Structure 1
Amino acid sequence: MRVVVIDYNGGNLASAAQATRRAAQLRGVEAEVVISGEESVLQSADRLILPGQGAFADCAHGLHQAGLQPVLERMTQDGTPFLGICVGMQLMAESGLEHGCTEGLGWIKGEVARMEPAPDEAAGTARTLRLPHMGWNTLDFTPGAHPLTEGVQPGEHAYFVHSYALRHGDPAECVMTTQYGGQVPAMVARGTRCGTQFHVEKSQEVGLTLLGNFLQWQPVP
């Protein structure tokens, strides 16, 4: 199996690749994990991973400049599994509102907007939750909701770093949520395409379990 971590100046590439190699080792999956932004290398992939950190507009521009959207569209439509991480997940949306309105891949419903956390009820109304949302938060989902959640239990923790989040999405495409001054989409999926708002590569056992599931996932286009 060849897994390509997509290089489009979106950041966080080496850690995503290393975590994927570790997940493959734990599952006994023979996987070559490479980092590349070359279209010919992407076309040879059995799995595609799109990390991302920073601003939606910058990452979308980097993906556009690299000319990779057409090959991603074609390969995922033909059945190649895709995993977006953090801003990589956000790019799956219709648009992002960071630094103006920027078009996304349009693979899932909704837009990515700045979070507006409600007052922290646990600390009283005088304290508002800070941005970025950074640290460990619980994952809320229905067991069996998606093959990638196998082996993960509701209430387990994952690591988040973000100030923008998906809103106005399709509930049918939202697999996991977390709470941070309100409900925040934590994982989305549609067809061969899935994404996590949290950093799987920094989420220890939960992240490795999800990555292992991704390596063995056989989605229907």
Structure 2
Amino acid sequence: MAEKIALVDYGAGNLHSVHNALIATGASGVVVTADPDVVAAADRIVLPGVGAFGACRDALAGIDGMIAALDQRVRQEGVPFLGICVGMQLLADKGIEFGEHQGLGWISGTVHAIEAASADIKIPHMGWNDVTPTTGHDLLEAGEAYYLHGYHFDAADADDIFATTFHGKKLVSAIGRDNIVGVQFHPEKSQAYGLAFLTRFLEWKP
């Protein structure tokens, strides 16, 4: 029986491109859903996201029962979870973007604006850049991926950082713990590297 993969729909911008990328890996059980009951029964969960931290957090919280379903299925029951871009940033304790906003608090840290290390460093960080693993995590391989972000995840615990990238200074490229992984890059825009990453996620048994 094919696994049920819940792609959470909370109006987060890159939903359809992530869906298409998952289908391109050969996955057959992908369900785009805003239904907490579907999320609560999923075998794997993907949380995409593009936009401002606070607006995305409010949109997710605006779906009655969604955050509770995510918390139960991911943190209590341990199904594999992938957050992409703002979907990764929402794992933090809080985000500082147009004010201070509470995150999910799954991975301790704060999302701050990227500060340019020099005048020639352009913000937002946009385009292809490296993914440099910091651990031997099953999902992360060295390579290049596509980024588009003006804010970065400042992790409180270095052990939660799975990969970094360099844009004038080191920025977190991937974070996680146990069955939870979040990536700042966009696998759905990262061609062969991104599809290989998604394939590994769909085969991952944390």
**Into which bin does the TM-score normalised by the smaller protein fall?**
over 0.9
Name the counterpart of 1:41: 38
Q: Distance in 2 between matches of 1:107 and 1:100?
A: 20
Query: What amino acid does structure 2 have at the position aligned with 1:22?
Result: A
If you compute each CA radius of gyration, which structure gives the higher value, 1 or 2?
1
Partner of 2:139, secondary structure, is helix
Q: Distance in 1 between matches of 2:36 and 2:131?
A: 35
| Aligned partner (choices 19, 22, 26) of residue 20 of structure 1 | 22
How big is each residue's C-alpha offset from its partner over 1:71-95, in whole Å with a ceiling of 9 and x where there is no partner? 1000012011110000000000110
Work out the percentage of aligned pairs sharing the same amino acid.
Answer: 40
| Aligned partner (choices 131, 140, 147) of residue 138 of structure 2 | 147
Q: TM-score, normalised by structure 1?
A: 0.88
Q: CA deviation at 1:32?
A: 1.2
Name the counterpart of 2:104: 105
Q: Distance in 2 between matches of 1:31 and 1:148?
A: 20
Name the counterpart of 1:122: none
Kindly tell me the number of residue pairs found equivalent between the two proteins.
Answer: 202
Q: TM-score, normalised by structure 2?
A: 0.94
Name the counterpart of 2:203: 216
Name the counterpart of 1:124: none
Name the counterpart of 2:123: 131
Partner of 1:116, secondary structure, is coil
Q: Would you say the 8 A contact 2:188–2:195 is kept in 1?
A: yes
After TM superposition, what 4+ stretches of structure 1 lie above 2 angstroms from structure 2? none
Q: Distance in 1 between matches of 2:46 and 2:170?
A: 26
Query: What amino acid does structure 2 have at the position aligned with 1:184?
Result: L
| Aligned partner (choices 2, 5, 30) of residue 4 of structure 2 | 2
Q: Distance in 1 between matches of 2:28 and 2:111?
A: 33
Larger strand percent: 2
Q: CA deviation at 1:128?
A: 3.0
The answer to whether the aligner puts 1:178 opposite 2:165 as a matched pair is yes
Q: Write out aligned runs for 1:161-172 (5 A).
A: 161-172=148-159
Q: CA deviation at 1:17?
A: 0.9
- Pick which of 163-172 and 84-93 moved more: 163-172
Partner of 2:201, secondary structure, is helix
Q: Would you say the 8 A contact 2:111–2:153 is kept in 1?
A: yes
The answer to whether the aligner puts 1:192 opposite 2:179 as a matched pair is yes
> RMSD in angstroms over aligned alpha carbons?
1.2
Gaps of 5+ in 2: none
The answer to whether the aligner puts 1:51 opposite 2:13 as a matched pair is no
Gaps of 5+ in 1: 120-126
Partner of 2:159, secondary structure, is helix
Q: CA deviation at 1:168?
A: 4.3
